[in-house]
Amino acid sequence: MTSRLDETIALLGELVAYPTISTDPNLAMIEALADRLDAAGARVEILRDESGAKANLFATLGPETDGGIVLSGHTDVVPVTDQDWSSDPFEMTRHEGRLFGRGTCDMKGFIAACVTMAPALAERVRDRPLHFAFTHDEEVGCLGAQALVESLRVRGLRPSVAIIG
């Protein structure tokens, strides 16, 4: 049986493999995350930008009430051009106990941890909702986050607090 840490590391490897450079689409990664959160019992929304190639994901476990916690992270990474990588930046590697790959720290690692924990959290969420908010284009002006906040405002969703990974 694998541990949650092993599951998180495996998912992180999958997420690193998506080349979600801020100039490129992130939709494939968003859809993969949506599938996992849906399987955990979350109510999942994919909110595409005007181009249709980029999207935010907003998912909720627990009751449909105000309040709750948002676990938030962005899916895009900075470009790798003109950087001196000793390995493929979109293939996660382990060296001396550390994980290397574009986005491992900023912020695909946090996203992997949140999504891996979703099934266990689903069993514990009772009184207040737990939201997952994964956005696009943070590296170029937080465009996805701005659109997501506006979408939540229009719908009257008012989480109490956000944890930004």
Catalytic residues: 76, 138
Q: Residue for token digits 């994901």?
A: 57
Contacts 24+ apart (CB under 8 A), 107-110: 107/73, 107/74, 107/165, 108/12, 108/15, 108/16, 108/73, 108/75, 108/77, 109/8, 109/12, 109/165, 110/71, 110/73, 110/165
Do 161 and 100 meet the contact criterion of CB atoms below 8 Å apart? no
